C-alpha cells in the first residue's frame, strides 16, 4: 500500500475511533459487529506504523499513543462484554480509546472530523 494512502487511512481510522458512539455506528453497515470492525480497522492500519514512522508520517510521540490504543484493544479482547454496542456506547475503556484517538489527531494537527471509511469494501 502507498504510504500516503496508509497515512490517510490512519486519519480515517482515528476519526472513527475518536467519534461519538452515535457517529461511529453510522459508518458501518448493519451486518457487522461494529466494535469488532473498529478494532480490526485499527489493527490493520497499526501494522503499517513502523513504515509510517520510518517515512516520518508518524512521530515517536504519536507512535506511543497508537501503541496505547493497540494495547488497550488487545487487553479488552479477552472480555466478551466489551464487544457489544452497549459497551461501545458506555464503557470507560472505549471512552479512553476515544480520548487517545483525539490526542493522536491533535498531535497530527488535525481536528476530529465526521468519520468516513472510504477505503473498505463491505461484503455481506
Neighbours of 113 (CB within 10 A): 14
- Quickly state the pLDDT bin for 8 (edges 50, 70, 90): very high
Residue 36 to residue 107: CA distance in whole angstroms: 26
Residue 113 lies inside a defined structural domain of this protein: no
Is the residue at 62 inside a domain? yes
Cα–Cα distances (Å) from 84 to 15, 41, 55, 61, 68, in that order, read 20, 16, 36, 31, 21
Is 1's pLDDT higher than 60? no
What percent of the chain stands above pLDDT 90? 80
Decide if 117 is inside a domain: no
69 within some domain: yes
pLDDT, tens digit, for every residue of 78-101?
999 999 999 999 999 999 999 999
Q: Is residue 119 part of a domain?
A: no
Q: What is the pLDDT of residue 110?
A: 94
**Per-residue model confidence (pLDDT) at position 89:** 97
Residue 95, domain member (yes or no): yes
Range of the domain at 38: 3-107
What's the domain count of the chain? 1
Looking at the domain assignment, is residue 87 inside a domain? yes
Residue 124 within a domain: no
Amino acid at each position: 500500500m502507498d504510504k500516503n494512502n496508509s497515512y490517510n487511512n490512519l486519519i480515517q481510522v482515528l476519526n472513527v475511533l475518536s467519534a461519538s458512539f452515535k457517529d461511529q455506528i453510522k459508518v458501518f453497515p448493519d451486518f457487522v459487529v461494529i466494535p469488532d470492525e473498529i478494532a480490526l480497522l485499527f489493527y490493520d492500519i497499526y501494522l503499517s506504523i513502523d513504515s509510517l514512522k520510518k517515512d516520518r508520517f508518524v512521530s515517536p510521540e504519536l507512535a506511543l499513543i497508537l501503541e496505547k490504543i493497540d494495547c488497550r484493544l488487545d487487553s479488552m479482547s479477552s472480555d466478551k462484554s466489551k464487544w457489544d454496542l452497549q459497551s461501545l456506547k458506555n464503557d470507560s475503556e472505549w471512552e479512553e480509546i476515544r480520548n487517545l484517538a483525539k490526542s493522536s489527531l491533535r498531535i497530527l494537527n488535525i481536528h476530529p472530523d465526521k468519520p468516513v471509511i472510504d477505503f473498505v469494501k463491505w461484503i455481506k
